[in-house]
Amino acid sequence: MSDNKYIYAVARIRSKELTLLNTAFMEQLVSAKGVSEAMSLLAEKGWSTGETGTSDFEQMLRSEEERTWDLIAELVKDMSVFDVFLYANDYHNLKAAIKEACSSQETPGIYISRGSIPVDTIKSAVSERDFSRLPERMREVASKAMDTLLHTRDGQICDAMVDRAALCDILRAGKESGSKILSDYGELTVATADIKIALRAAKTKKDAQFLKEAIAPCDTLDHTRLIETAAKGEDEVLTYLSGTVYSDAIDMLSKSASAFEKWCDDKMMDSIRQELYHPFTIGPLAAYILARQSEIRSVRIILTGKANDLSEETIRERIRATYV
Amino acid sequence: MTMGTVFALLGAALAALLAGVGSAIGVGRAGQAAAGVVTEDPNKFSQVLIMQLLPGTQGIYGLLIAFIALTNIGIMGGDANLSTSEGLLYFAACLPMAIVGLISAMQQSNAAVAGIALVNKRPDQFGKAMIFPAMVETYAILALLVSILSIFGVAALH
């Protein structure tokens, strides 16, 4: 009977999928003469370009992100199933609040409004050092990261601790959801983040202690081996990865960080595409959220590229695979 | 009133009850999907309505079997005194429609929901989308035939 819960929502999402941007449209955007023409094309597709002019495409992208979440909130009564997508925002806000509290300076625009916990709750819990207002999963790391920043003034280790906690939570929430797509999302998010951290740490010659604070365990990577190899060097990490399910990524990792980012997003897109044919379950809704996030990311790449006069070829290399 | 009449009535009631329950669940599920499509595109109402109705036929078949059984038993006028073995024969005759009606209606609704998704994305493929849930109907019709033939066969015995 639980299958019945999402029949209406999935049917509506199927209609919404018709409005997602496809590869041909992305190509049209890439070929547009400038930001203005690209924005006009998006307006024809129903994107809320508003009357703010061509310079404020970030506002448009934020508004599109909000539209996605508003639609999902309309369709699903219990939004907590999608917390796995929002934990990263919560922990980003926690880092921002800790840094703001430690520096006693307010920085406008550093918080992300869409999270599973209201921004004000995080800000007040950190500024008053009353971590009991935070969910239990965040309390320990919030207190530890704040103490570390106050004692060492090392923002990097503070960030690493909070990011690791975020990754652990994403993995756990994905597994607990009971949905394959959410579980795969959690696993891939953590594994790719670990790979990025390991390579960056190997490049900057971070010690094993830092790596232990930064790398989160996951099922597809051997946590201990990744830390050991990262402490030795970049080549060791790549050699280790060649024996894992992420061996396809090695070429991209050798190429550039942005090529690897694209590989991660495209791999996620490949794994969610099967949801196009599932009429029940929460999977198609989760896939739609990821597809929208991916297309917004691609549009941001295109518009930023246009604004900075990047060549079509350079932009084309960076845009993500589409869901439809 | 004999035990035979009780068994026969139970069979007729089950045919209407289980097939009706299956259809109610099936039409309800397909209706949710249809409502989702119409929310976004009201022009597809007529197409999705037909798809929604497909799992509803089992309830009608169940009603038909119950009606024929009740007439032959004699409950709707006539002598309703059946022996236990006659009653059990009527009970058994109604079972195909009752059980197949319940299961096929629920399974047909799964195919109807998937068909509605197909119509949603490719309205020009409505004919093909109809065929998938309609295939499930075959088994409900076979059960209906077996139940009808059995009831008339049992009636000819006494």
Contact between A149 and A99 under an 8 Å Cβ cutoff? The reply is yes
Give residue A302's domain range: 1-76+282-324
CB-based contacts of A97, cutoff 8 Å, min separation 6: A111, A122, A123, A125, A126, A127
The per-residue pLDDT for A226 is: 94
Radius of gyration of chain B from its Cα atoms, rounded to whole angstroms? 18
Integer Cα distance of A15 and B24 in angstroms: 26
Residue A149, in any domain of the structure: no
The per-residue pLDDT for B80 is: 80
Runs of H (alpha helix) within chain A: 7-17, 23-31, 35-44, 57-75, 83-103, 119-127, 136-152, 155-176, 180-203, 208-214, 223-232, 234-241, 250-255, 257-272, 283-307, 312-318
**Residue A39 corresponds to which tokens in the numbers above?**
């924005």
Radius of gyration of chain A from its Cα atoms, rounded to whole angstroms? 21
What are B11-70's pLDDT values in tens digits?
999 999 999 999 999 999 999 999 999 999 999 999 999 999 999 999 999 999 999 999
What are B56-92's pLDDT values in tens digits?
999 999 999 999 999 999 888 778 889 999 999 999 9
Q: What is the dihedral of CA A103, A108, A113, A116, to 10 degrees?
A: 0
Whether the CB of B40 is below 8 Å from some CB of chain A: the reply is yes
Chain B environment of A14 (Cβ under 8 Å) = 36-37, 117, 120-121
The verdict on a CB contact (< 8 Å) between B117 and A18 is: no
Q: What value of ipTM does the predicted structure carry?
A: 0.85
Residue A117, in any domain of the structure: no
- Whichever domain contains A40, its CATH number is 1.10.132.50
- Looking at CA atoms only, how far is residue A16 from chain B in angstroms? 8
**Three-class SS state of A195:** helix
The verdict on a CB contact (< 8 Å) between B37 and A7 is: no
Residue A148, in any domain of the structure: no
The per-residue pLDDT for A257 is: 85
The per-residue pLDDT for A51 is: 61
The alpha carbon dihedral of A177, A179, A185, A186 has a sign of: positive
What are A184-210's pLDDT values in tens digits?
999 999 999 999 999 999 999 888 888
Interface test with A, best of B27, B40, B47, B132 (most A CBs within 10 A): B40
Chain B environment of A12 (Cβ under 8 Å) = 36-37, 39-40
CB-based contacts of B5, cutoff 8 Å, min separation 6: B73, B74, B75, B80, B81, B82, B87
Residue A232, in any domain of the structure: no
Hey, which residues 13-32 in chain B have their CB within 8 Å of chain A? 28-29, 32
The verdict on a CB contact (< 8 Å) between A11 and B34 is: yes
Nearest neighbour of A7 by CB, restricted to B41, B113, B120: B113
Burial of B50 (0-12, 13-18, 19+ CB in 10 A): middle
Domain boundaries, chain B: 3-157
The alpha carbon dihedral of B2, B4, B7, B11 has a sign of: negative
Going residue by residue through chain A, which has 324 residues, state the pLDDT in tens, using 9 for 90 and above.
456 789 999 999 999 999 999 999 999 999 999 999 999 999 999 898 766 555 678 889 989 999 999 999 999 988 888 999 999 999 999 999 999 998 888 888 899 888 899 999 999 999 999 999 999 999 999 999 999 999 988 888 999 999 999 999 999 999 998 889 999 999 999 999 999 999 999 999 888 888 998 999 999 999 999 999 999 999 999 999 999 999 999 999 888 888 999 999 999 999 899 888 888 889 999 999 999 999 999 999 999 999 999 999 999 988 999 998
The verdict on a CB contact (< 8 Å) between A14 and B29 is: no
What are A243-289's pLDDT values in tens digits?
999 999 999 988 888 899 999 999 999 989 988 888 888 999 999 99
Hey, which residues 47-106 in chain B have their CB within 8 Å of chain A? none
CB-based contacts of A98, cutoff 8 Å, min separation 6: A126, A142, A145, A146, A149, A158, A162
**Residue A294 corresponds to which tokens in the numbers above?**
């991916």
Interface test with B, best of A4, A6, A14 (most B CBs within 10 A): A14
Nearest neighbour of A4 by CB, restricted to B29, B40, B41: B29
The amino acid at residue B119 is V
**Three-class SS state of A167:** helix
Please, what is the end-to-end C-alpha distance for chain B in angstroms? 17
The per-residue pLDDT for A284 is: 94
The per-residue pLDDT for A114 is: 85
Whether the CB of A79 is below 8 Å from some CB of chain B: the reply is no
* Architecture field, domain B3-157: Up-down Bundle (1.20)
What is the distance of C-alpha B139 from the center of its chain? 10
Whether the CB of B113 is below 8 Å from some CB of chain A: the reply is yes
The verdict on a CB contact (< 8 Å) between B36 and A12 is: yes
The per-residue pLDDT for A52 is: 54
Chain A environment of B22 (Cβ under 8 Å) = none
The verdict on a CB contact (< 8 Å) between A15 and B34 is: no
- Total domains in chain A come to 1
Interface test with B, best of A3, A12, A281 (most B CBs within 10 A): A12
The verdict on a CB contact (< 8 Å) between A279 and B29 is: no
Q: Which one, of A96, A144, A143, A147, lies nearest residue A123 by Cα? A: A96
pLDDT band per the 50, 70, 90 thresholds, residue B118: very high
B69-89 burial, b for 16+ CB within 10 Å, e for fewer? bbebbebeeeebebeeebbbb
Hey, which residues 2-31 in chain A have their CB within 8 Å of chain B? 4, 7-12, 14-18
